[in-house]
Amino acid sequence: MILLEANLKLILPVALLGVVLLFFIYRMYKMRHLLSASNMPESSENTLIINDQNFDKTIAIGITLIDFWAPWCAPCRIQGPIINDLATDMVGKAKIGKLDVDQSKKVAAKLGIRNIPTILIFKNGEIVKQFVGVKPKNTLINEIEKYI
């Protein structure tokens, strides 16, 4: 009888731990599935694709905002459509681009990009503002307009 009571006291916590573990595994699977199955475009027709080869030329003249991101980064997937929308709104005022840090490691290393998404605003080749994390479109517009 005592042995049965001891086993019942153990079964409940172990079962609860198993349920919690299964829940987290399910959530991770679902998040991974959502990220990999995303059919949202990485860029719009107004969003520049920046890489190691065109980076210096792109930022040299005028105002340029670049979103440093990676396809596996969940916050970057949230920021991406905001950047694409911003690019459409800023046509003729500023250049808006995206740089995949996995594809363009030289630029990311040169600028010391350690966290993504990181957003840098350049004016005539010089960094004038840096954001880390997801930022709303209005914040980015207000910051760009300071330098126009």
**pLDDT tens profile 71-102:** 999 999 999 999 999 999 999 999 999 999 99
This prediction's pTM: 0.73
Closest CA to 79 of 117, 24, 113: 117
Instruction: Identify which has the larger pLDDT, 9 or 57.
Output: 57
Selected residue with higher pLDDT from 70 and 16: 70
Catalytic site includes residue 73: yes
Beta bridge partners of 64: 95, 122
Q: What CA–CA distance (Å, rounded) separates 129 from 147?
A: 10
Residues 6+ apart with CB under 8 A from 8: none
Q: Which of 50, 63, 65, 76 is catalytic?
A: 76
Distance CA(44)–CA(126), nearest Å, equals: 25
pLDDT beyond 90 at 14: no
Task: Name the active-site residue from 59, 73, 101, 113.
Answer: 73
Average pLDDT, the chain: 87
Can you tell me the mean pLDDT for 125-136? 97
